[in-house]
Structure formats: structure tokens, C-alpha cells
Structure 1
Amino acid sequence: MTSRRSFLKTSAVLGTGLLMAPNLYARNKKYIGVQLYTVRDAMAKDPVGTLAKVAKVGFNTVEGATYTGTQKFYGMDPEQFKQVLDDNGLKMPSGHYMLGDGMPNAKGTIANEWQKAVDDAAAVGMKYMVCAYLLDGERGSLDHYKETAHKLDLAGDICKKAGIQLCYHNHDFEFKQENGKFPYEILLNSTDKDLVKMEMDIYWIYKAKQDPIALFNQNPGRFPLWHVKDMDKTPKQMFTEVGNGVIPFKDIFKHAKKAGLEYFFNEQDICPGDPFNSITQSYSYIKKNLV
């Protein structure tokens, strides 16, 4: 079985080119973002009012989550949505999309009408498009992951031509070994490091018992996006507000430059009450302690 250490050693070669230009991905510390999935119910009911509330909390960047299947940004065309963002002093540098192999009738996926998705993302001013999740039927064997890596490369090339960077967002299933290898290892090693970068979901990395700092050190510049969500102190290891849990974000943020971090987004998949209370608490901790 391949250990975590040997996996990281194997993937080290991917980021060597960035060692020659360490400032290429220097983060602008003024940006504090939120993944709109956290306030998904409010966005479904009143996206305009919800974005105003998000801005009032203090967030100045958001990450979208609804384009796949609708080819709309929360029910709006790109131009209309961008105007709402502008009216609230917000930017949306990144958005989530689906691979689409398991959603044959859904448009706006990597598999179906990807060029339109890229064009619409560019119209909103996005810099990153993220493959958010692989459905159960889209995972399979390591060979299947290699095929997925090839599809990501092709999608990433289309993004590149529009001035957009494709990323892949992890959960924990990518760290279930098969024949001594992690699927995540395949996605790292089998994609072009310039066409496909990674959005690290730090919660899921910890859930999978992996070391984010080791991944940064072995793959410098490969992680321009992060999801900043915390893990509570209970045996269930549930989501919690940033600063309430066990993840050492202060230590992790010390390695932002090595990671290549440009934008991060607070996300809390499940909140104990009003999500706006949760994101306000997380924002306050982030603002005081991490940026």
C-alpha cells in the first residue's frame, strides 16, 4: 500500500516550475470570500437580497454553485448577475460546475455545452471554474480516474483560451486507496499542472486524514483556491464555524504563498441555525486571525 508520504513524494514533480517564480500566485489579502452554497436556501428565494446581506457581513467575493443544469447564475443571465454583484461591491472570481458524465440531460457541464459555460463565466468576470464533485457513477477504478483527468485537461484547455483557470475540488472519497494509490494522486499526476489546478477543501482533507501543508510543499502553486471550513470537536466531526473547531487554520495560512493561494471561500455545508449567523461568526474570526 502506498503511504501518504510516498504519495506526496511521487506528486512533487508537478509544481517544480513554479519554484522559479514564487510570487506568481501572491494572494491579495483584501479578499474574504464565501461559497454561496452555505446560504443556498436564501439564494433560491431571494438572490438579490441575499447577496446584499452577504456584502453587509463584510464578504467581498463569492463563489457560485448553481450554473450546471440551469445555465443561469441564480436565475439570472451573466450580465444581469454581474450587475447585481457590482451593485453590492462583490466579485465572483470562481464558480462550481459538474463533470456531467452522470447527468446526460444537464447542460452547462464539462460534458455538455462547456463552451457556453466558459463564455458565460467570462462575462461575469470569473477567473476560475471548478469541477465541484464526482457523482458515484463518475468515480470507478483508477483507470476511470485517468479518463476523467484527460477530460479535465480538455476542459481546462477551453478555459485557458478564455483566460480562465480550471480547478478540481476535493472531498474525501479521492483518498480511498485502490491498488495502493489514491484517486487524488491520479488526478494530480495525470492532469497538466497548468491546465488543471486544485481547489483544496481543507475540511475534507482533514476528514480524509491528509496533511494540507505537506500537499502544498510537494505541489507548490497547485492550490490557488481553498475552502475554509472547520471541523467540530465531536466524534461525528461535523462542520462548524471557522475558529470553533480543530483545524489549525493559522498554521495552514502561513503556507498560503507556497500553495499558490489567490482566493479562499468560507463554506459551511450544514449550520446549526441561521446560516447568516454562522458566516458572520466565521467572517469575524477570519478577519481577526487569518488575513
Structure 2
Amino acid sequence: MLKTVALLFIFLSTAILPSVAQKGKKAFSAEIGMVSYTYRHSFQKDVAKTLDTIKTLGITDMEFSNLFGKTAQELRQLLDERKMKCSSFGVSYDEMVNKTAEVAKNAKTLGATYVRVAWIPHKAPFTLEVAKKAVDDFNRAGKILKEEHGLTFCYHNHGYEFQPYGKGTFFDYMAEQTDPKYVSFEMDILWVFHPGQDPAQLLNKYGKRFKLMHLKDLRKGVTGDFSGQTPVENDVALGTGQLDLPAILKAAQKAGVEHYYIEDESPSVSQQVPQSIAYLKNLPL
């Protein structure tokens, strides 16, 4: 399996996509990371072998949102043995609010500098009341994480935040009401595009508030909404869907995004992830 994935990656990198170097253009050069959720089914079976698979693809920067039955120390040891790192640790909203100290301990054990939450519990539609509570919780927990543990909290958008509110959206409200010293953001570009927003414009608007990014693409022909949900089969290899990756990544680099993680929720990761990596490595910006 590992040999097949590695050979596919080499083929895609050298044979399918054009060589940017030959054209004298500068390619996307930021380090490419991986979200553990991309390989969630494999991680549930064998953490060590899954890390080996990811390392074979040239990926060493991880964002974990599950310990997959390991302690934080056990997972850190597996990463260290492979010269890999965990830069961001994702937890649930409830854990962030009610187990802040435990979350911080695990994050620091893993070696992460960021703590991320990717979903605000609510019953649709997303409301101002829910947004206000989230703002209060993010400000409080973010302050604890920063001042007591030296960690940066990031909220990962999921689509529902872009429902109209006032002269903008609920996301605008949350960005304005959270303290930049304690609350930053991880942009999931699919979940900006799916509800009808432009990721590049949002990056230009909020700049350095965005520290992290999930790289993914949406199947052509899919129409979005504010649900924060779409069938996993709608995740396609980068560059084959609807998103304008060159414009988004130019804006992300200008904004100072620090970590870029591939997230592919589809059942076709063994084919699509190598294709996405090759696309990024050959993308002229």
C-alpha cells in the first residue's frame, strides 16, 4: 500500500502536472500539512502505520483532532520517532469550555502551538444568541490558553456562520466581538465557499486573524447552503473542483497564514491526496 501511494505521488508530481520550474515561475512553497481527519479510518486501525503512510508522501506537519486511543505522550513519541510534528490540536467545543486545562496539557505534550475548535453546538438556524455565547466562551478560554499556557486558540469556520446578520454575517460579528489577542481563526476554504463567500476576499478583510488553513476543494456542480454539511464524496482533489486555489493561496500568503493542512473527507484519499500534493507543489503564484 505504501509503495503504491508513493509511486502514484511521484507519477503525479512528474508526469501529469506541468513543471513550474521549467517555466521560471515561483511555485507555492509553504509547508504542506495534513489533518488527521483525512486518514481517520486508517488511524482508527493503526496509528503508527498511518503516520508512515503520511510521511511517505513527504508530510511531516500534522493537525490532530483525535488521539485515536493513545495518550498525548504516546502519540508524541510516535511523531518524534518519525521526525514529524503536531502544530495544531483540535478539540470539541465542550472540551475547550469545560476542560481547558486538560486540553492545554495535551496540546503542549503533543508540541502544538494552536488549539482549534471546529463546530459550535446549535440547532439550525445559527442565531445571534448562539454567536454571543460562542464569543464569550472563545474570549474566556482563549485568554486562559494564551496567558496561562502560551497557546493560541483558533476557531474553524463551518459554513453556518455566514448567514446574513446586520450589515454583514455572523462571522463578521464574531470576528469583531472576539479579542484578537486571544482568538484567531482557521479558515476552511470549502466552508467559506459553500455558503457563498469568497475565501480570498475574507482573507484580505481579516488578514492576520487567520493563522491556519484547511485546503480542500468542492466538486463541480455542487450548490452550497448554510448547513455546514455536504456528502463526503463532494470533497475532490485540489485543483479539480470549484475553488480558485491560486487566488486563495496568494491571499493566504499575504495574510500570513502559518500552517496549511490538506483535509480530504472523501473515501478516495489514496488517489486524491497525492494528486492534491502534486497540484500544490506545481502551483504558480
TM-score range, shorter chain: 0.7 to 0.9
Distance change in 2, residues 1:189/1:236 (3 Å): closer
Whole-angstrom CA distance in 2 between matches of 1:133 and 1:144:
12
Which stretch has the larger CA shift, 193-202 or 227-236?
227-236
1:78 aligns with 2:69: no
Q: For structure 1, which runs of at least 5 residues remain unmatched after alignment?
A: 1-27, 67-72, 101-108
Between 1:121-130 and 1:253-262, the stretch displaced more is 253-262
Higher share in helix:
2
Query: Partner of 1:59 in structure 2?
Result: 59
1:136 equivalent in alignment to 2:122: yes
Q: Counterpart in 2 of 1:172?
A: 159
Give the alignment partner of residue 257 of structure 2, picking from 247, 256, 261: 261
Pair 290,112 (structure 1): closer, same or farther in 2 beyond 3 Å? farther
Secondary structure in 2 matching 1:156: helix
Alignment-derived partner of residue 41 in structure 2 = 41
Aligned to 2:169: 182
Q: Aligned in 2, Cα 1:180/1:252: closer, same or farther, shift over 3 Å?
A: closer
Equivalences, count: 248
- Using the TM superposition, give the Cα deviation of residue 135 of structure 1 relative to its aligned residue in structure 2, in angstroms: 2.5
What SS is found at the alignment partner of 1:94? strand
Deviation at 1:202, TM superposition (A): 0.4
* Match in the other structure for 1:242: 238
Amino acid paired to 1:216: L
Q: Retained in 2: the 8 A contact 1:249–1:290?
A: no
- Counterpart-to-counterpart distance in 2, 1:149 and 1:206: 23
Residues 1:247 and 1:181: Cα distance change in structure 2 (over 3 Å): closer
In the alignment, structure 2 segments of 5+ residues that lack a partner are: 1-27, 225-233
Task: Quickly say closer, same or farther: Cα 1:290–1:170, change in 2 above 3 A.
Answer: farther
Q: What RMSD in Å do the two structures reach over aligned CA positions?
A: 2.1
* Match status 1:157 vs 2:143: yes
Q: Secondary structure at the match of 1:145?
A: helix
- For 2:142 and 2:124, the matched residues in 1 are separated by 18
Find the aligned partners of 2:166 and 2:247 in 1 and give their Cα distance. 33
Contact 2:211 2:257 in 1 (8 A): yes
Q: Does the 8 Å CA contact 1:59/1:283 hold for their aligned counterparts? A: no
Change (3 A) 1:35 1:153: same
Q: Does structure 1 residue 50 correspond to structure 2 residue 37?
A: no
Q: Which amino acid aligns with 2:220?
A: K
The 1:228/1:183 distance shift into structure 2, 3 A limit, reads same
Q: CA separation in 2, counterparts of 1:29 and 1:285? A: 12
Tell me, in whole angstroms, the C-alpha distance in 2 between the residues paired with 1:178 and 1:80: 45
* Cα distance in structure 2, aligned partners of 1:278 and 1:223: 26
Map 1:210-225; keep pairs closer than 5 Å: 210-225=197-212
Identity, in percent, stands at: 28
- Matched residue type, 2:174: L
The 8 Å contact of residues 156 and 195 in structure 1, kept in 2 or not, is answered as yes
Q: Partner letter of residue 54 of structure 1?
A: I
Letter in 1 for 2:280: I
Query: What TM-score, normalized to structure 2?
Result: 0.81
Select 2:182's aligned residue among 188, 195, 200. 195
Shift of 1:242: 0.7
User: Aligned residue for 1:207?
Assistant: 194
Give the partner amino acid of 1:235: V
Aligned amino acid, residue 262 of structure 2: N
Contact 2:155 2:185 in 1 (8 A): yes
Residues 1-60 of structure 1: per-residue CA shift (max 9 Å, x gap): xxxxxxxxxxxxxxxxxxxxxxxxxxx945211111111110001111101101101111
Question: Structure 1 residues 62 and 258, CA, compared in 2 at 3 Å: closer, same or farther?
Answer: same
Tell me what 1:15 maps to.
none
